[in-house]
């Protein structure tokens, strides 16, 4: 089973390549990015690129659901990011998705744990963006019924932490010390280790149970933005262009391609910047800025999820791209 998952992942990701980020960066620039990375450089791996429901989605009848059922290589795991320091052998995870068991297998492939104990901590820390199912529900696997983690370090906002501490079944993880939650606050960099920092940034989103963070991950050479969920760019108290300018690669909310995707449902109930809106907004940026933009967190209805789709080509024509499961970015 693991081999099957891995083969699929390798097939999608092209894991053999050193750095796959910036597929559309002009070749000379892409080469220099690769040259900056070597076997000792920290890096990030995109462990999933789908919206909370994954692809195929339960009961989903969109063309990409059917395509992913026919050909598992077309499937996408729920959006999450692995951050690895190959020197210290530490590994960190952003978001515990419902696909966590498979994503731990994938993390073991690219960043194996030293077998120090029977059940080593799965990650040196798991940072959570918010309390929507795709982003934290994987924590359920850390309890006694499954992994039985011992003090897994979890980084979360105060509101997210309180949600976990005061609602079942999550409170049992806290009481039984399967997780050890540390509060993190917006704009305060968390030192993950000597070479890596993680900075939460607050973003507007449907905050029923928690507030919502994006993260900036900074390594010795490069910075990365991970921002899977935001309501609309205009609702943010900062200019997304400034944030993009401050990083080398920007994974941003690409949930929906446009406004016609959810027949029978009001899209105002689930606000996101449509990819078409983002393309229009970012089109005046210089090519170098546009080449940083990678759309992630794709809904199963998103036409740009399909390779060779008109939607995908439209994104690539304006110098941006769609994230692939398994792609790497040097830090």
Q: In what order do the strands lie in the sheet with 190-191?
A: 190-191, 197-203, 212-218, 223-227, 249-253, 293-296, 321-322
Stretch that binds Zn ion, among 18-26, 129-137, 278-286, 300-308 (CB under 5 A): 129-137
- Tokens of residue 311, six digits: 């939607």
Q: Point out which span in 24-32, 48-56, 232-240, 305-313 binds Zn ion (CB under 5 A).
A: 48-56
Give the CA distances from residue 205 to residues 208, 230, 232, 272, in Å, rounded to whole numbers and listed in that order: 9, 5, 8, 9
In whole angstroms, the minimum distance from the beta carbon of 160 to Zn ion comes to: 12
Nearer to Zn ion, 147 or 236 (CB): 236
Closer residue to Zn ion (CB): 207 or 241:
207
Write phi, then psi, for 316 (nearest 5 degrees).
-70, -30
- The Cβ-side half-sphere exposure at 44, using a 13 Å CA radius, reads 31
From the list 134, 200, 319, 330, which residue makes contact with Zn ion (rule: CB under 5 A)? 134
Q: Using CA atoms, how far apart are residues 198 and 216, in angstroms rounded to an integer?
A: 6
Taking residue 331's Cβ as centre, other Cβ atoms within 10 Å add up to 24
Closer residue to Zn ion, CB minimum distance, 54 or 330: 54
Answer yes or no whether residue 327 interacts with Zn ion by CB under 5 A. Answer: no
Considering only residues 289-308, where is the footprint of Zn ion by CB under 5 A? none
CA distance 4 to 16: 17
Q: Shortest gap between Cβ of 134 and Zn ion (angstroms)? A: 4
- Cβ atoms of 120 and 114 within 8 Å: the answer is yes
User: What minimum distance in Å lies between the beta carbon of 75 and Zn ion?
Assistant: 17
Contact status: 273 vs Zn ion (CB under 5 A)? no
* 229 is an interface residue for Zn ion by CB under 5 A: yes
Report how far residue 322's alpha carbon sits from residue 259's, in angstroms, rounded to the nearest whole number: 18
Number of residues that bind Zn ion (CB under 5 A): 4
Of all residues in the shown chain, the one whose CB is closest to Zn ion is 132
**Which one of 21, 33, 52, 160 is in contact with Zn ion (CB under 5 A)?**
52
Q: Is 132 in the site for Zn ion (CB under 5 A)?
A: yes
Residue 276: count of CB within 10 angstroms of its CB: 16
The answer, yes or no, to whether the previous bond of 176 is cis (omega within 30 of 0) is no
Shortest Å, Cβ 209 to Zn ion:
10
Nearer Cβ to Zn ion, position 132 or 222? 132
Give the residue with the Cβ less far from Zn ion, 208 or 308: 208
Q: How far is the CB of 73 from Zn ion (least distance, A)?
A: 23
Contacts (CB under 5 A) with Zn ion, residues 159-218:
none
Report the b/e string of 36-63 with b at 16+ CB within 10 A: ebeeebbbbbbbbbbbbbbbbbeebebe
Closest distance to Zn ion from the beta carbon of 19 (Å): 26
Nearest residue (CB) to Zn ion, 52 versus 65: 52
Backbone angles phi, psi at 157, to 5 degrees: -65, 165
Tell me the closest approach of the beta carbon of residue 299 to Zn ion, in angstroms. 9
Least distance from Zn ion to the Cβ atom of residue 284, Å: 28
Binding site for Zn ion (CB under 5 A): 52, 132, 134, 229
């Amino acid at each position: 089973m693991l081999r099957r998952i891995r083969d699929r992942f390798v097939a999608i990701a092209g894991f053999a390549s050193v750095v796959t980020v910036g597929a559309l960066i002009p070749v000379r620039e892409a080469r220099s990015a690769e040259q900056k990375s070597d076997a000792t450089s920290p890096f990030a791996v995109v462990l999933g690129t789908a919206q909370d429901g994954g692809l195929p989605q339960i009961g989903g009848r969109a063309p990409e659901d059917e395509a992913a059922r026919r050909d598992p290589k077309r499937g996408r795991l729920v959006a999450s990011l692995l951050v690895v320091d190959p020197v210290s052998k530490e590994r960190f995870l952003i978001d515990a998705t419902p696909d966590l068991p498979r994503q731990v297998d994938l993390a073991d492939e690219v960043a194996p744990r030293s077998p120090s104990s029977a059940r080593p901590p799965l990650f040196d820390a798991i940072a959570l963006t918010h309390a929507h199912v795709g982003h934290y529900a994987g924590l359920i696997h850390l309890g006694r019924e499954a992994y039985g983690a011992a003090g897994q370090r979890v980084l979360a906002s105060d509101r997210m932490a309180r949600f976990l501490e005061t609602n079942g079944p999550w409170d049992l993880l806290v009481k039984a010390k399967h997780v050890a939650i540390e509060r993190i606050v917006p704009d305060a960099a968390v030192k993950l280790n000597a070479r890596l920092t993680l900075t939460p940034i607050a973003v507007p989103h449907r905050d029923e149970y928690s507030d919502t963070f994006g993260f900036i991950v900074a390594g010795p050479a490069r910075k990365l933005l991970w921002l899977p969920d935001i309501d609309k760019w205009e609702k943010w108290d900062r200019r997304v262009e400034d944030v993009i300018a401050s990083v080398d690669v920007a994974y941003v909310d690409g949930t929906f391609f446009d406004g016609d995707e959810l027949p029978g449902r009001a899209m105002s109930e689930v606000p996101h910047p449509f990819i078409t809106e983002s393309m229009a907004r970012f089109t005046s940026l210089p090519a170098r800025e546009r080449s940083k933009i990678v759309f992630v967190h794709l809904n199963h209805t998103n036409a740009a999820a399909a390779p060779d789709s008109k939607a995908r080509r439209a994104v690539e024509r304006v110098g941006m791209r769609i994230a692939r499961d398994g792609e790497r970015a040097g830090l």
